[in-house]
Structure 1
Amino acid sequence: MTAMSGILPPELILEILSWLPVLSLMRFRCVSKTWKFLISDSYLVKLQLERSFRNPHILLLATQGYKNPCFLARLCSLPCLIQNPAPYFCGRTLRCPRPYKYLFGSCNGLLSLHKSLSTKEYEEHWVCFWNPATKNCSKPSPRLRLNFGTGVRNCIHFGFAYDDRKDSYKVVAMVLDPSTRQTNVWVYCMGDVCWRRSLMTSPAFLPLDSNGYSVNSTVNWIGISFQEPKKPNFFSYDLNNDTCRCLSVPEFGSKNSGFPAMGVLNGCLCLSLDIERTMIELFALKDVRDERSWSLLVSISYETLNISPYSYKLRILGMLGDLLLLAYSNWDAYTILITFNLKENKVERTRTYKKKFLNHIFSCHYVPSLLPI
């Protein structure tokens, strides 16, 4: 490195290093103090992150166990997984640092982890941030204490996102109080000394997915508003201005009879709707702040997907070019991963797993990064 720095300007050295994978850069940091200083440069960290987005990965998250559930996180290359939907052969398992068992979000290479404590009078929740590439983990956040009041437990759901205006990473906790039918939104910003209650909404909103989906400095959940209990909506919290909106899903009349599911494809919020147990329609929201920007991505019949009308919880996992990766469960205790070719309107390959491996599967995007914690 010393010889190279005498020949090449620092900007060019950083440009060359930015094309290397994070794991290689982490090894090079151990060579000398000069290498460690150079690879810790904020410009290199930012440039390397931008390059990492060209090689998409996803985290497959699945619950294991029933009495004491924990989450299994499997890191997979999206191109590899779509070509061969077999996580055991094209990915590696990420084991959360103790004592955390629940991973609920990914953003720019950082993962957010959750732990809780419950008594008869209250429950406490705290989070931390983990970079598996650098193996660094933050200290636990302050605890968010929720009192039961009338004895009815709260329903709490988490989301993790990056606030681009304030250059900060934030955890959003949506807390439903069943006794008052109100939803409180609490926000924790990395490095803060406490949680901040951002707002309170009424009527309440009940998410159908535990984890919020992050798009363009917003966290979004699909669910049911107590104001319109017969129609699914999605709840969107905007980190830029600490506001929330309850937005409508695409118009589909009264035909929807299944489980609506949300996902993120190519930076857009996506929604899958089950139409009378015969069709799956996938919609994309071009602008997450404009509910008029919904567009139909594809409509696929159960017959084309070769799935039973008794299947449930179809989920959007990822997309690469014309290839779409989907997952669903059936009543025979199996989870099936499907690669579907949108251009040719056909299933290319499937893979079946016992639910003890992939139970309640969902996914989030991941890019390895050198971001410090």
Structure 2
Amino acid sequence: MEITQSRCSMDEYLIVEIMSRLPVKSLMRFSCVSKQWYSLTRNSYLINTHLRRSDSNLSLLSYTTILDRQLSTEFGISMLDDEADLVSLDLSFSNNYTCSESVKLVGSSNGLLCLVTEAHTNGAKSLDGVDIIIWNPATRRFRTIPKPVLPENINDCTKTGAYGFGFSDDNTNDYKLVGIFGNQVQVFSRSTNSWRQVEGKGFPSYQYYHRSEWTSLNGVLYWMAMTMTDGCFESFILSFNLCDEAFDVIQLPSTGVVWNSRLLSWKNSLACLCESNLQVWAKTTDDNTTLPWTKQFSFDSPTSSERIIGIWKDQVLILRLTSINGLFLYDPKTKKRGKQLPKRENYSYFDAGLVNYVESLVLV
């Protein structure tokens, strides 16, 4: 059943109108009815129409937990719904991986997640033990993409790379994965299923990347980065535009922003959360490179055993690393602690992150 916006009968139009308003879970049941229905759930017009109508105000909590009194860890992802309840997602790809491997969520775009798994061999990490997965939690479909081919002179630590994933909203309508390996930049295109090296216009050399601190917004990827200038380390934000594939350097707010500050998308703006003095700064216009940062709010510092994870509906999500380990919300306006989020019995949170998410039919 081939449906396009320009060539669509009334019956087909009504089918798309109805189906584009249904949850992905219901649509996936329809795909089992016949080959015709299966084909429809993979039709680009239905996929794009459904995506435009989906709830874009969801968040995903990715976390690593550690079993109490043991050393075994476990990676998980839960959806944070409108009531701040956690709904665990079934990691449909996880049967292929063991707890000896670490899993990192490196991108979220239009319902697709990009994850990187790293196998540890004698305490070392290299690209040989890396798998890169594109996964749609709603459809439960995933695939492992090919690894980039890197020069032999790049050391193992650099080979693990810093990654970013997003949608290139240009004429190609492509999903791209960017890998930064030392002074080399490679881009994977979903449409060609291949990597290519890019010169990286504006790419600064001799920098280090905080691999856990990234965000994406409106077709631009952002990483927290650091370089050495005159013998001193200097922190900054490195951006990469997925359309023109150009880099840019963004200076950090002048107050309290350090290497471990968090980057996030907040109210459709690039924001930086300064953990040292708990301030939130944001770029409140489309020009994220030249216009100044604006301080949005600040709040009382929690104890040294508490970490800021992200922002959910203007509330701050905090991870408490103590004997009463857990996640809770904090309202900076009322200065009151809010809801305590549940956690698995006998497990403690070790690390966590919060990303924007939308349920979709987008193909992997």
TM-score by shorter chain over 0.5: yes
- Find 2:107's aligned residue among 105, 108, 120: 105
TM-align CA RMSD: 3.5
SS of equivalent to 1:210? strand
SS of equivalent to 2:48? helix
2: CA distance, partners of 1:223 / 1:157: 10
Shift of 1:193: 5.3
**Residues 203-222 of structure 1: matches in 2 within 5 Å?**
203-210=205-212, 212-222=214-224
Q: In structure 2, do the counterparts of structure 1 residues 70 and 247 end up closer, same or farther at CA, with 3 Å as the change threshold?
A: farther
1: CA distance, partners of 2:29 / 2:209: 42
Question: Percent identity over the alignment?
Answer: 22
Q: In structure 2, do the counterparts of structure 1 residues 328 and 199 end up closer, same or farther at CA, with 3 Å as the change threshold?
A: farther
Q: Does 1:92 align with 2:95?
A: no
2: CA distance, partners of 1:171 / 1:68: 32
AA of the residue aligned to 1:250:
P
**Residues 57-96 of structure 1: matches in 2 within 5 Å?**
57-64=58-65, 72-81=75-84, 84=85, 87=86, 90-96=87-93
Aligned residue in 2 for 1:3: none
SS of equivalent to 1:10? helix
Aligned residue in 1 for 2:196: 196
- Find 1:339's aligned residue among 309, 325, 329: 329
Q: Is the 1:328–1:336 Cα contact (8 Å) retained in structure 2?
A: yes
AA of the residue aligned to 1:130:
W
Q: In structure 2, do the counterparts of structure 1 residues 13 and 142 end up closer, same or farther at CA, with 3 Å as the change threshold?
A: same
Aligned residue in 2 for 1:31: 33
2: CA distance, partners of 1:226 / 1:46: 44
**Number of equivalences:** 340
- Find 1:314's aligned residue among 308, 315, 318: 308
Compute the TM-score of the two structures, normalised by the length of structure 2.
0.79
Shift of 1:262: 1.4
Aligned residue in 2 for 1:244: 247
Aligned residue in 1 for 2:177: 171
Aligned residue in 2 for 1:370: 361
- Find 1:284's aligned residue among 259, 282, 290: 282
Q: In structure 2, do the counterparts of structure 1 residues 338 and 293 end up closer, same or farther at CA, with 3 Å as the change threshold?
A: farther
1: CA distance, partners of 2:149 / 2:246: 20
Shift of 1:248: 0.6
Q: In structure 2, do the counterparts of structure 1 residues 121 and 312 end up closer, same or farther at CA, with 3 Å as the change threshold?
A: closer
Aligned residue in 2 for 1:21: 23
2: CA distance, partners of 1:225 / 1:162: 28
SS of equivalent to 1:147? coil
Return 5+ residue gaps in structure 1 as ranges.
1-6, 177-182
Q: Is the 1:160–1:212 Cα contact (8 Å) retained in structure 2?
A: no
Q: Is the 1:160–1:172 Cα contact (8 Å) retained in structure 2?
A: yes
Compute the TM-score of the two structures, normalised by the length of structure 1.
0.77
SS of equivalent to 2:17? helix
Aligned residue in 1 for 2:5: none
AA of the residue aligned to 1:289:
N
Shift of 1:94: 2.7
Q: Is the 1:213–1:219 Cα contact (8 Å) retained in structure 2?
A: yes
Q: In structure 2, do the counterparts of structure 1 residues 203 and 159 end up closer, same or farther at CA, with 3 Å as the change threshold?
A: same
Aligned residue in 1 for 2:167: 162
Q: Is the 1:258–1:274 Cα contact (8 Å) retained in structure 2?
A: no
Shift of 1:10: 2.4
1: CA distance, partners of 2:42 / 2:153: 46
2: CA distance, partners of 1:106 / 1:162: 9
Q: In structure 2, do the counterparts of structure 1 residues 257 and 243 end up closer, same or farther at CA, with 3 Å as the change threshold?
A: closer
Aligned residue in 1 for 2:339: 349
Aligned residue in 2 for 1:272: 273
1: CA distance, partners of 2:307 / 2:253: 19
2: CA distance, partners of 1:358 / 1:34: 45
SS of equivalent to 2:89? strand
Q: Is the 1:161–1:171 Cα contact (8 Å) retained in structure 2?
A: yes
Q: Is the 2:237–2:252 Cα contact (8 Å) retained in structure 1?
A: yes
2: CA distance, partners of 1:50 / 1:16: 14
Shift of 1:257: 6.8
2: CA distance, partners of 1:52 / 1:280: 33
Q: Does 1:326 align with 2:317?
A: yes
Return 5+ residue gaps in structure 2 as ranges.
1-8
AA of the residue aligned to 1:104:
V
